[in-house]
Amino acid sequence: MNILLLKVCSYYYYYFQQLLNIRRNKRRGERIKQKKRQAREKEIKMSMRELVTGGAACAVPGSSSSSSNPVGAFANALIGSSSKTQGVLKEIPNAAAASPHAQFYPHADDPVAALPGSELDRPFLQSNPQGSEFIRGFRTADANGLADAWEEIQRQPHFDRVYEGATPAPPIQPSLDGPPQRVLSSFLHSFVDSSRSGIPLHPTPLPLLGLSQGDKQCIRDRSSIMARHIFADKSEEFINAQVNALLSSLEIENDIHARGPMPGRFRELEDYWNESQGVLKPGAHAADGWVTEFSQNRPHHGDLEAWAHSFEQKHGAGGWASEFEQEQAQLTSVDQMRGGNIESLAAIQQTRMLAHTLSQNSDPKFQNSKFLQFVSKMSRGELIIDDNQVKPASENWATEYQQQYNGGASWADEFVHDEVFRGPDHWANEFGAERLQQESVDDQWVNEFSKLHVDDWAEEFGRQVGEGALGDSSSDNWANSYDEFLNEQLAAKQRSDASRGVYVFSDMNPYVGHQNPLKEGQELFRKGLLSEAVLALEAEVMKNPENAEGWRLLGITHAENDDDQQAIAAMMRAQEADPTNLEVLLALGVSHTNELEQTAALKYLYGWLRHHPKYGTLAPPELANSLYYADVARLFNEAAQMSPEDADVHIVLGVLYNLSREYDKAIASFKTALKLKPNDYSLWNKLGATQANSVQSADAILAYQQALDLKPNYVRAWANMGISYANQGMYEESIRYYVRALAMNPKADNAWQYLRISLSCVSRNDMVEACDSRNLELLQKEFPL
């Protein structure tokens, strides 16, 4: 007869929950919001289910082979409180006896209804999940069909009126015939009903219902609570009388202290509860805590005080189930009281309870679980359930969360800005991926969760994931990817500044205040200390923002340091300061070519021609607005013919040919220029780069070597070397060169990325981590040149 017991419990849960939901659902929301909600719901539900059921002793309601589970019921109930059902529940009070079933199985157009691999037999997210699930579960689990009895009760319109304050029905005499369940149900039914009519229930001897001790206890608890709830406006005596009447009819001892361990089904619960309590014994302590909290929060509900008090007395081994059941009753009565922001307060209360309970669990994993945090925050009112969405009560939550979880930055930001609700899939993926780094206890449910959102993912890809095509290693990849994503986000700000042409100054510049930073910078540049030179030159341009030479040199230094973004930014400033400086224009042309920005590159190279004292005449100004490569190339060739001894023209020509990918011509031009200027290290680099881009990597390496001989600290050349080796498939070698380049300039983002690729090519995943964390020392030790 534990089934009976459980059914009673569950029924009450279910019903109270529906009430809450009815009121909640009166607020409308759009479908999108609902989707978002569902995404959230799923998280909450799954986590709740996992945490609550814990995969320990308790089974899952709704699965036909397992036992019913008030714990799960609670979970469902809690979830239900935050879910936005579709208004089906509204129909319940008005339910004709006709088709209650229709209410329980609402709209099938729930997009996430079909969750493959779900542990439930039926879609978890139908609008009326708890009740229908439960009833079905019970029905299957219990041969006695008590569920029928309860459903019957539900269908009774006048029962509903109990909660809707309609006209009271005449007192119903319980039918004492029929199967025990029916008798019981009708008896309980009349008990409830009697409240409305204000007529005290007569203790009626009932035929033996075969209630076990456990059943009796449960009924006793429940009825007390129910009574208090239903008869809230009546006196304490009345309540007690009613309860006693009920209990004596059922031959339940009203000795509130006579509580033994619940037999049978509840043993599982007990075990789980005890386990979760850790060293904490169920009993006064937990109750005290709860009661204290409770009293703190509800000082103005005197009636409830008394009730809480009696709860404290009664609280015993019946424990967990009754505790929550009482909470449910409390919530509903709160509802009836229509105090302030009932739903959210109620939810807060609920979650507080949950949080409290969960925090009792001494398992640190549990403590630290994200979900627990979430619930705690909910309970502390930091989160508001507003319009069936969970929103942070303040930005603080997001920030706090962000602080707590390294790398949670963008997640928190996004959440605050509601961006995370962009789609359950996006959020799910992010969340799932992020979680994987945190080593929290949410493992199972998140995995499930991510897998479950198959259909929401993009197209075939998603489907194949659901089929298990993605193995575990992919999860790691996801985690790593997400890590990178976050790093990228963090660095993105800086990059976006630079890409907009805004120069990013370094902090902590020791050269600020230096007497003549320009000179210093030039010295350092000459010596090849590029990063130092950068600092000195920055100091210079901070002092004299119009110093074209300062900016120019800064730009060149950055280019040699393999930082095209900063190079462009600095060069732009230089150009502002001095629009006719040829070197600046050339440098800009080169940088843009490197970035494959063809239009811009053309513009600057053409500008070079126009401003050149000798060839300016060749370049008609009107052409500048509609530059076609062919024209520009032609002009340059004319210039070259004009003065074949001018190396610069050849250099520019070489760059131009790179733009059009006429690599052979480019190589020829550069070689010509090199004959004229053999000691120009940057020219050697250009040659090498051209050769590399035409996949003549072996030649390229030779050219780079020449450049490096001329300038040993030429970071760009080092990086290019690495590229050439990598392109040839010689990844080991390439790694060493990348590391060397990075040692000279740790800010060379390109090099970091290429290094990472090479590392993964040789499957040195341990070093990939070092790479991600930019651990230069380790890499240098591992890969010396």
Partner 1 sequence: MATTELKSDNLFEMMKIHLDSDAGKELIKNIGLVYQINIAPKKIGFDEVSYIVDLKKGEVTKGKYEGGKPDATFSFKDDDFIRVATGKMNPQIAFIRGAMKIKGSLSAAQKFTPDIFPKPAKM
Task: Calculate the alpha carbon distances from 596 to 590, 593, 754 in Å.
Answer: 10, 5, 18
Judged by beta carbon, residue 7 or residue 716, the one nearer partner 1 is 716
Identify how many contiguous H helices and E strands the chain contains and give both numbers: 40, 2
Q: How far is the CB of 417 from partner 1 (least distance, A)?
A: 16
CB-based contact 195:169 (threshold 8 Å):
no
Judged by beta carbon, residue 63 or residue 685, the one nearer partner 1 is 685
Q: Please, what sign has the CA dihedral across residues 518, 524, 530, 536?
A: negative
Judged by beta carbon, residue 78 or residue 703, the one nearer partner 1 is 703
Among 341, 481, 496, 765, binds partner 1 (CB under 8 A): 481
Which single residue is written with the structure tokens 């100091």? 539
The 10 Å Cβ neighbour count of residue 714 is 26
CA 768/CA 775 separation, integer angstroms: 10
Judged by beta carbon, residue 362 or residue 474, the one nearer partner 1 is 474
The 10 Å Cβ neighbour count of residue 506 is 12
| Segment near partner 1 (CB under 8 A); pick from 192-200, 317-325, 398-406, 752-760 | 752-760
Judged by beta carbon, residue 163 or residue 670, the one nearer partner 1 is 670
Does the footprint of partner 1 cover residue 716 (CB under 8 A)?
Answer: yes
Q: How far is the CB of 442 from partner 1 (least distance, A)?
A: 19
Judged by beta carbon, residue 282 or residue 654, the one nearer partner 1 is 654
CA 207/CA 433 separation, integer angstroms: 59
Q: How far is the CB of 491 from partner 1 (least distance, A)?
A: 10
Residue 390's beta-bridge partner residues?
Answer: 385
Contact string 588-607 vs partner 1 (x = CB under 8 A):
--x--xx-xxxx--x-----
| Segment near partner 1 (CB under 8 A); pick from 60-68, 135-143, 270-278, 756-764 | 756-764
CB-based contact 385:354 (threshold 8 Å):
no
Contact string 620-659 vs partner 1 (x = CB under 8 A):
-------xxxx------------------------x--xx
Judged by beta carbon, residue 378 or residue 700, the one nearer partner 1 is 700
CA 625/CA 59 separation, integer angstroms: 74
Task: Calculate the alpha carbon distances from 175 to 18, 171, 187, 188, 322 in Å.
Answer: 27, 12, 7, 11, 28
Does the footprint of partner 1 cover residue 577 (CB under 8 A)?
Answer: no
Among 151, 343, 562, 648, binds partner 1 (CB under 8 A): 562
Judged by beta carbon, residue 538 or residue 562, the one nearer partner 1 is 562
- Among 607, 658, 659, which Cα is nearest to 670's? 658
For residue 263, what is the enclosing H or E element?
none
Which single residue is written with the structure tokens 């996949």? 695
CA 191/CA 199 separation, integer angstroms: 10
Q: Please, what sign has the CA dihedral across residues 214, 215, 216, 222?
A: positive
**Interacting positions 666-695 with partner 1 (CB under 8 A):** 685-686, 688-690, 692-695
Angle at 505 between CA 504 and CA 506, to 5 degrees: 120
Q: How far is the CB of 30 from partner 1 (least distance, A)?
A: 22
Among 544, 660, 672, 775, binds partner 1 (CB under 8 A): 660
| Segment near partner 1 (CB under 8 A); pick from 109-117, 191-199, 745-753, 776-784 | 745-753
Which single residue is written with the structure tokens 């969360």? 401
Q: Please, what sign has the CA dihedral across residues 274, 279, 281, 287?
A: negative
Half-sphere exposure of 707 (CA within 13 A, CB side): 25
**Interacting positions 486-525 with partner 1 (CB under 8 A):** 488
Among 411, 449, 482, 783, binds partner 1 (CB under 8 A): 482
Q: How far is the CB of 152 from partner 1 (least distance, A)?
A: 50
Among 720, 744, 745, 764, binds partner 1 (CB under 8 A): 720
With H, G, I as helix, E, B as strand and everything else as coil, classify residue 139. Answer: helix
For residue 223, what is the enclosing H or E element?
helix 213-230
What are the start-end ranges of the E strands in 348-431? 383-386, 389-392
Q: How far is the CB of 753 from partner 1 (least distance, A)?
A: 4
Could you say which DSSP state residue 425 is in? H
Judged by beta carbon, residue 181 or residue 685, the one nearer partner 1 is 685
Number of residues that bind partner 1 (CB under 8 A): 69
Does the footprint of partner 1 cover residue 700 (CB under 8 A)?
Answer: yes
Q: How far is the CB of 782 from partner 1 (least distance, A)?
A: 20
Does the footprint of partner 1 cover residue 23 (CB under 8 A)?
Answer: no
Does the footprint of partner 1 cover residue 773 (CB under 8 A)?
Answer: no
Could you say which DSSP state residue 626 is in? S
Judged by beta carbon, residue 424 or residue 550, the one nearer partner 1 is 424
Could you say which DSSP state residue 729 is in? T
CA 269/CA 189 separation, integer angstroms: 27
| Segment near partner 1 (CB under 8 A); pick from 6-14, 26-34, 49-57, 718-726 | 718-726
| Segment near partner 1 (CB under 8 A); pick from 328-336, 340-348, 373-381, 587-595 | 587-595
Among 564, 707, 718, 744, binds partner 1 (CB under 8 A): 564
Q: How far is the CB of 728 from partner 1 (least distance, A)?
A: 5
CA 400/CA 532 separation, integer angstroms: 38
Among 93, 485, 743, 778, binds partner 1 (CB under 8 A): 485
3-state secondary structure 512-556: CCCCCHHHHHHHHHHHCCHHHHHHHHHHHHHHCCCCHHHHHHHHH
Judged by beta carbon, residue 140 or residue 660, the one nearer partner 1 is 660
- Among 149, 146, 122, which Cα is nearest to 133's? 122
CB-based contact 718:739 (threshold 8 Å):
no
Contact string 722-741 vs partner 1 (x = CB under 8 A):
-xx-xxxx------------
Judged by beta carbon, residue 577 or residue 768, the one nearer partner 1 is 768
Does the footprint of partner 1 cover residue 756 (CB under 8 A)?
Answer: yes
Q: How far is the CB of 599 from partner 1 (least distance, A)?
A: 6
CB-based contact 345:319 (threshold 8 Å):
no
Contact string 406-445 vs partner 1 (x = CB under 8 A):
--------------------x--xx--x------------
Does the footprint of partner 1 cover residue 779 (CB under 8 A)?
Answer: no
Judged by beta carbon, residue 467 or residue 709, the one nearer partner 1 is 467
DSSP labels for 62-125?
T-TTS---HHHHHHHHHHHHHS---SHHHHTTT--SS-HHHHHS--TT-TT---TT-SSSS-TT
Can you say how many angstroms the Cα of residue 393 is from the centroid of all Cα atoms in its chain? 18
**Interacting positions 439-468 with partner 1 (CB under 8 A):** 458-461, 464-465
Q: How far is the CB of 559 from partner 1 (least distance, A)?
A: 8
CA 231/CA 307 separation, integer angstroms: 12
Judged by beta carbon, residue 274 or residue 760, the one nearer partner 1 is 760
CA 73/CA 188 separation, integer angstroms: 21
What does the binding site for partner 1 look like in residue numbers (CB under 8 A)? 426, 429-430, 433, 458-461, 464-465, 469-470, 474, 477-478, 480-482, 484-485, 488, 562, 564, 590, 593-594, 596-599, 602, 627-630, 655, 658-661, 685-686, 688-690, 692-695, 697, 700, 716, 719-720, 723-724, 726-729, 749-750, 753-754, 756-758, 760-761
